[in-house]
Chain A
C-alpha cells in the first residue's frame, strides 16, 4: 500500500525515485524508475550531518532539506520514524513538496512491509 502511494510520486514532473526510511535509517519502502537505485548510505550520511548542524546551530527541529544541483533531492522528515527522500532531475522541489504535503497523512501512517 505504501509503495502504491509512493508510485504516485513518479507521476510528478521530474521525480525519479521516492524512498521512505525509518528513524534508524532503514529502508521502509521505495519506488523508482527501473535501473535507478539511490545511494542510501549517502542519503543517511547527508541527513545525519544536517541534523548535527541543525542541533549545533539552533534548538529548533529540522524538517526539510533541499538539494538543488544537477539533480534535485528533497528530504522531508515527516515524523520521528518517517523520512521521505525524493530525487530527480527537476529542480522544482516546491512541486514535490506540495505532493508530499498532499499525501502527508498517508505517508506518515501507512505501514510498510515488515
Chain B
C-alpha cells in the first residue's frame, strides 16, 4: 500500500466511527496494522467527514476503493490491533489527491468542488477591453458585449438590449445586489448566467471590472468564456523564452548560495510568486522558473546539463534576485530549457550540491521537505499512479439507482449530498449542543447534591450548636441556681452574722453587767475562782464564736466572690453565645452565596471547556491567517522599503546624472571651444596651405627659385671643401677658424643671393605682376621670362663667380690651416726639446696646452721663439764656462735652436702679425675675396663675437710671466716707445712701407709674393744685424720694435 503525500500531522485522537466528525476539515486518516511499516488503508476526510476509502487486501494485495475499501478497513481493524494517524491538508491539497484517486470516493459528489475553478476570468479581464470585445464579437452565438469598470462603460460591441451605458449601470447594480444577498461563505462564482426564453446574459466579474455578454438562449456560456480566454491567452501551456527570462518586480535580492535559494523559495511559496529566481547578472545568468511558488524548470542562456546548471545556480558569489512576473504570466514545465528537470530531482540534489556534510544535507533536505514535501510526494504519486490499479469504478454514473428492499431509492445527486452534509453538520451541532446541555445538567446535578450535602452538614452543625446551647443554658441555669442558693446562704449567713453580732453584743452587755455584778459580788469573795473560770469559759466561748463568725464571714466573702465570678462568667458566656450565634448566621449566609458562585462558575467553566474544543480549530485558523497577514505585511513593508531605497537611489542617481550632465555640458562647452579653435586653426592651416600653394605656384614661376632649384653646379664645387673640412675636424685640432670661414662664406653667398633675388622684385612688384597676369597674361609671361632670364644671368655670373672665389678662398684657408697644423706639430717638438733643455716647465706646459689650437699659433710661435731665444741666450752666456765637450754638444743644440728661430721667423708667425690668408681672416674676419672684390662699404659687417671667437689668445696665458712683462711695454695698439733709428736700412724700410701702404694693386698675388720675398730678405738681414751685436735688453727691445714695425708692414694690403 502506498503512502499519501504528507500534510500537517493531527495530534488529537482519531475516531473513525461512522458519522463521527473529525477535528480537522480536510486530510486523511491512515490505518496501520500492528508494527507494519506500510499502511493498510487510508480514509479521505472532507469537511470533517470521511468521504473516501482506500484499502489493501492482505491476501490478494489488491488495492480497493470506495465502499469495498470501507468494509475491508472495518474488517481489518476489527480483527487486528490497529492504530490511526491523521494528516491535515488544505482543500486544494485534498483536491489534488482526489484527482489522482477518484475511485476512493463512495459518492462522486464528494470529489467535486475541492479544487478552485480555473476558468481564467481573472486573466481575461486583465486584458485589453477592446481585445476582449473583438474576440467575443467574432463568436456567432454572441449578440453583443459590454465592458465596464465600477459601472462606468469602457467599451461595447454588437447589439445590446439597451443603451450600453445604461446596461453597464444595470449590471453593476445587479451584481451589487447579488453580493449583498448572498452570504460571504459562498464561493464567488466564475460567471453568472441569466437565461430567458429568447436570449441569455452572462456576467463575468473580477474586482471592479465586469463583462456583460448578451447571447442566444442556448449558448454555452462556459464554452464562450473559455474560447475567449484561449483566443486571448495564446499558448496556455506556459511562456517560453528565447534569449533570457525577462526581469519582473524584484521581491527579494541577496547573495547566492543554497540557504539563500531556500529562503527565496520560502518567500515564493508564502507569496505564491509566479516568476523566477535569477542568479547572476551577465549573459551566464541562470533562472529558476517558479509557478505559484513551485519550481518548474531552469533557464540558462549558456545551456548545460541539469547538474552543471544546478551547481552554477548555487554559487554563493552570484547575486540572486527573486523576480515576480506580471500577473497573467503562466509558467509550466516546458518553459525552461534544461532537460531532465523535475521537482524531485531538484529537491534531491539541491542539499547535496554544495556540501558533503551529512548533517547539513539533512538539515537542508528537511527544510525543503517542509516546503515542498506535499508537492514532491504528490508528483511521485502522480508518476506512479499508472502502475497502481485500484478496484472500483472510475466515475460511477450519478444516475445509478440502488435497490434496497422493494423500494427504489433515488440516486444520490449533488443536491441530496449537500443536504446530507448540511443535515450531518446540523446533527453534529445539535450533538454538540446536547453535549453542552448534558454537561450543564450534570453540573447542575452536582450542584444540587453538593447543596444537599451542605444543607445536611449545616443541619448537623445546627443541632450540635443547639445542644451546646442547651448545655450552656443548663450550665447557666445551674449557675443561676447556685447563685441564688449562694445568695440565700449569704443572706442567711448575714442574718446569722447579724444575729450573732447582736447576740454577742448582748452577751457582752450581759457579761459586762454580770461582770459588774460580779464585781459587786466579788466584793463577796466566795466563788471568785468559779467566776473566773466562768469568765474564762465565756471568753473562750466568745473567741470560738468570733472565730466561727470570722470563718463564716470569710466563707461569706468567698461565696460572694464566687457568686461574682459566676455572674461574670455567665455574662461572658452569654456574650460568647450571642456572638457565636451571629457569626454562625453570617457564615451561613456567606457560605451560601459563595457556594452558589462557585457552582455557577464551575458550570460556566465546564461549558467553556466543552466549547473550547470546538472553537480551537477556528482560533488556529485565525492564528494561521494572522501569521500569513503578518508575513504579507512584512513583505509589503520590505517591498516598500526596497521601493523607497530604490527611489532614494534613483533620486541620488538623478542628482548624479544632473551633476554629470553639468560636467558633461561644461566639457561639451570646452570641447566646442576646442573644436572652434581647431576649426579656426584648420581654416588658418588651410589658408596657410593655400598660401603655401600660392607661394609654391609663385615660386615655380619665380626665376630665382627655379634657378636655385635647377642649377646647382656652382655649389657642387663646395663638395670637396666640405670633405676636407670634415677631415680636418677628425684631426683633433680646433677648427674655429675654418668654421668662421665657412660661416662667412655662407653669409657672403646669402647676401649675394638676396641681392640677386631682390632685383627682379624691385623691378616689378607682385601686385603689378598679378594685374598683368589677369589682364595681359602674355605680357606677364614675357615679363616673367625676361625677369627670369635676367635673374638667371645674374645668378650664373655673379653667384657662380662669388661661389668660385669663395671656394678658392676656403681652399687657401685650408692650406694655411694645414700649414699651421704642421707648424704646431713642429712647435710642440721644439717645446719638448726646450723642456729637456731646461726651459721653465711652466712656460713650456702653458705653451704645450695651446698646441691643439691653430688660432693661437702666432702667439704660440712668439712665445716659443722667446723661449728659444732665452735658451740660446743662456747657452751663449754660459758658453765660456763650459768645457769643450759640453760646448760641442751645446753648439749643436744652439744650431738647432737657431734653425728653429729662423724657421719661425721665416714663417712670419713671430712677427706679431703673421702673414697668410688664414691669419688675415683671423684678424679682420673678411675673406680674401671680400677684401679684393667687394668695396668696404658694401661688405657685410663682421660680428664682434665671431672675431672674439677667432682671436689669437693663449690658454693658460697667466703662466707665461715673461710674456706679460714684455707685453706691458706695449700699449693697446702694440705701439711702443721707439728710439731714433740707428740703422739706415730701417729708414728705407719705413719709406718703402709708407710709400706702398696706400697703394692698391690689381695684381694682388704677384706683388704679395714680391713683398714676401723682400720681407724675408729683410728678416735675414735683420737677423744678421741682431747676431752681430751684443744681445742686451736694449737691443732686444729695439728688435722688438723692429719686429713690430715689420708686422705692421706685413699688414699692408694691396
| Contact in complex: A98, B647 (CB < 8 Å) | no
Q: Does residue A48 face the partner (Cβ distance < 8 Å to B)?
A: no
Most chain-A Cβ atoms within 10 A of its Cβ — which of B128, B148, B149?
B128
Q: Does residue B152 face the partner (Cβ distance < 8 Å to A)?
A: yes
Interface positions of A from 65 to 114, Cβ below 8 Å from B: 80-81, 92, 94-95, 97-99, 102, 105
Measured between C-beta atoms, what is the minimum distance from A61 to chain B in Å? 14
Report how far A102 CA is from B152 CA in the complex, Å: 17
> What chain B residues lie within 8 Å of A94 (beta carbons)?
148-149, 152-154
Report how far A99 CA is from B650 CA in the complex, Å: 27
Find the B residue at minimum CB distance from A11.
B130
| Contact in complex: B154, A98 (CB < 8 Å) | yes
Measured between C-beta atoms, what is the minimum distance from B468 to chain A in Å? 82
Q: Does residue B286 face the partner (Cβ distance < 8 Å to A)?
A: no
Known contacts A12-B130, A80-B647; is A98 also within 8 Å of B326 by CB? no
| Contact in complex: A95, B129 (CB < 8 Å) | yes
| Contact in complex: A95, B155 (CB < 8 Å) | yes
Find the A residue at minimum CB distance from B209.
A98
Contact with A along B108-133 (1 / 0, CB 8 A): 00000000000000000011111000
| Contact in complex: B128, A99 (CB < 8 Å) | yes
Contact with B along A24-44 (1 / 0, CB 8 A): 000000000000000000000
Known contacts A80-B647, A98-B147; is A92 also within 8 Å of B153 by CB? yes
Measured between C-beta atoms, what is the minimum distance from B127 to chain A in Å? 7
Contact with A along B145-160 (1 / 0, CB 8 A): 0011100111100000
- SS of A interface (majority): helix
| Contact in complex: A102, B128 (CB < 8 Å) | yes
> What chain A residues lie within 8 Å of B128 (beta carbons)?
98-99, 102
| Contact in complex: A98, B129 (CB < 8 Å) | yes
Measured between C-beta atoms, what is the minimum distance from B133 to chain A in Å? 10
Report how far A12 CA is from B147 CA in the complex, Å: 15
> What chain B residues lie within 8 Å of A102 (beta carbons)?
126-129
Count of chain B residues with Cβ under 8 Å from any Cβ of A?
A: 15
| Contact in complex: B326, A95 (CB < 8 Å) | no
Report how far A99 CA is from B152 CA in the complex, Å: 14
| Contact in complex: A98, B149 (CB < 8 Å) | yes
> What chain A residues lie within 8 Å of B147 (beta carbons)?
98
Find the B residue at minimum CB distance from A12.
B130
> What chain B residues lie within 8 Å of A12 (beta carbons)?
130
Report how far A94 CA is from B129 CA in the complex, Å: 10
Contact with A along B138-178 (1 / 0, CB 8 A): 00000000011100111100000000000000000000000
Report how far A20 CA is from B132 CA in the complex, Å: 26
> What chain A residues lie within 8 Å of B152 (beta carbons)?
94
| Contact in complex: B155, A92 (CB < 8 Å) | yes
> What chain A residues lie within 8 Å of B149 (beta carbons)?
94, 97-98
Measured between C-beta atoms, what is the minimum distance from B652 to chain A in Å? 14
Report how far A104 CA is from B189 CA in the complex, Å: 28
> What chain A residues lie within 8 Å of B148 (beta carbons)?
94
Find the B residue at minimum CB distance from A96.
B154
Interface positions of A from 1 to 21, Cβ below 8 Å from B: 12-13
Find the A residue at minimum CB distance from B127.
A102
> What chain A residues lie within 8 Å of B130 (beta carbons)?
12, 95, 99
Report how far A99 CA is from B129 CA in the complex, Å: 8
> What chain B residues lie within 8 Å of A81 (beta carbons)?
650
Measured between C-beta atoms, what is the minimum distance from A3 to chain B in Å? 19
Measured between C-beta atoms, what is the minimum distance from A59 to chain B in Å? 18
Find the A residue at minimum CB distance from B129.
A98
- Not counting A94-B152, A95-B154, a sample of 16 additional A-B residue pairs whose C-beta atoms are within 8 angstroms of each other reads A80-B647, A92-B154, A92-B155, A94-B149, A94-B153, A95-B129, A95-B155, A97-B149, A97-B154, A98-B128, A98-B147, A99-B129, A99-B130, A102-B126, A102-B127, A102-B128
Interface residues of B (CB under 8 A from A): 126-130, 147-149, 152-155, 326, 647, 650
Between A and B, 9 residue pairs with Cβ closer than 8 Å are: A12-B130, A80-B647, A92-B153, A94-B148, A94-B149, A94-B153, A98-B155, A99-B129, A102-B128
**Nearest 9 CB-CB pairs, A to B?**
A102-B128, A98-B154, A94-B152, A98-B129, A94-B154, A95-B155, A95-B154, A105-B326, A94-B149
Interface residues of A (CB under 8 A from B): 12-13, 80-81, 92, 94-95, 97-99, 102, 105
